[in-house]
Amino acid sequence: MAMKKLAMIGCGNIAEYHLDHLVQFKDIELAGFCDVLIDRAEAFVAKAESGKAYSDFVRMYDDIKPDMVFICIPPGVRGYVEFETIRRGIHMFAEKPLALDLNLGRDMVRRVKESGIIAAGGFQCRYDSINAPAREFIKKQPILHVAGSRVDGLPKGLWGRTKYTSGGQLAERSIHQMDIMRYLLDDDPVIVFSVASSGCITEEEIPGFFNDHYSTTLITFKSGTTATMIAGYYGQTRNCWDNKITFGTRTSRMDYKLISGLTIYDENGETTIKSERDPGLESDRTFVEAVISGDPSKIRNPYADAWKSVAFCLACNESMRTGQPVKVEY
């Protein structure tokens, strides 16, 4: 039986993250790499020591006829690539955020379902080894409040400088924290109220920066659990904020840090559990194995559920825009 062929569209930083994993898999053929900047695609061919470089993904599809594709293009240009991929029946792993428009995202989810292709979203944190003990903690007592935070430095790519092309810090970066809230609580948000601010990032620091400098979000989940999320692009050092998610009960709390570890504070004192493996590697491997076997049951980040986390963040953006609480619509 011939090996399944894999292609990649978009050869930037996040694609390189995936390629570092994919080159370890010896049961697939890395057949094609596409980027509007052909030299970047050629660099991926050199690193993979296989495949062919393209600047036109349709031509790549015609030439190599891939079985699966990793879509790693900026969020502001989603739609056409996915629709063509779905139309051809190519299984796809799409990096987050899947879309910046509710109607577009819903349409893609519908088409994925109708097509029957295997599809996943880029939420690799769901594969972290600390998630099992985190869920055990959450099952013991009702979680009353969750407090999340993520403060990063300025975006590197030009598309990250504007909210129109990136979705903003909350939807493009802190979406991982928002997704883990949903995933660990096994609960969906119903109402969000977000306020964004600016004024701390100068034109000298990053010319043409038209994005939220920082924001605060209030969240109510179906279960009644409430949450807050603090997000920002203004970080100059790691000392400016402690990036984590705290889950609190009446008698204990858990501090959860993405792809790092967690600490539980309870009657036993402090218990720390470290992440044991690269969740991104496991995420990519799980998707590839699903395509090879035809069985998607082990995928923890299926496309339709990944879309819910994107819609969650888009509702926050709408609240920032209107200054009003917003009902989360999927």
CA 48 – CA 294 distance, rounded (Å) = 25
Does some domain include residue 32?
yes
Q: Give Cα 83 to chain centroid, integer Å.
A: 20
The answer on 213 and 170 residing in a single domain is yes
Please report the pLDDT score of residue 23 as a whole number. Answer: 98
Range of the domain at 97: 4-124+280-301
CA 46 – CA 298 distance, rounded (Å) = 32
Please report the pLDDT score of residue 21 as a whole number. Answer: 98
Q: Please name which of 10, 2, 109 lies closest in space to residue 65, comparing C-alpha atoms.
A: 2
Give, to the nearest 10 degrees, the angle between helix 175-185 and helix 303-322: 120
Please report the pLDDT score of residue 163 as a whole number. Answer: 95
The answer on 267 and 118 residing in a single domain is no
Does some domain include residue 59?
yes
The answer on 323 and 195 residing in a single domain is yes
The enclosing domain of 175 has a CATH number of 3.30.360.10
Question: How many structural domains is the chain composed of?
Answer: 2
CA 46 – CA 273 distance, rounded (Å) = 39
The answer on 147 and 173 residing in a single domain is yes
Ordered per-residue pLDDT tens for the chain, 330 residues: 689 999 999 999 999 999 999 999 999 999 999 999 999 999 999 999 999 999 999 999 999 999 999 999 999 999 999 999 999 999 999 999 999 999 999 999 999 999 999 999 999 999 999 999 999 999 999 999 999 999 999 998 899 999 999 999 999 999 999 999 999 999 999 999 999 999 899 999 999 999 999 999 999 999 999 999 999 999 999 899 989 999 999 999 999 999 999 999 999 999 999 999 999 999 999 999 999 999 999 999 999 999 999 999 999 999 999 999 999 999
The answer on 270 and 134 residing in a single domain is yes
Please report the pLDDT score of residue 183 as a whole number. Answer: 98
The answer on 192 and 57 residing in a single domain is no
Which residues in 158-196 are b (16+ Cβ under 10 Å) and which e? Answer: ebbbbbebbbbbbbbbbbbbbbbbbbbbebbbebbbbeb
The answer on 90 and 205 residing in a single domain is no
- Mark residue 313 as left, alpha or beta (left: phi above 0; alpha: psi -120 to 50; beta: remaining): alpha
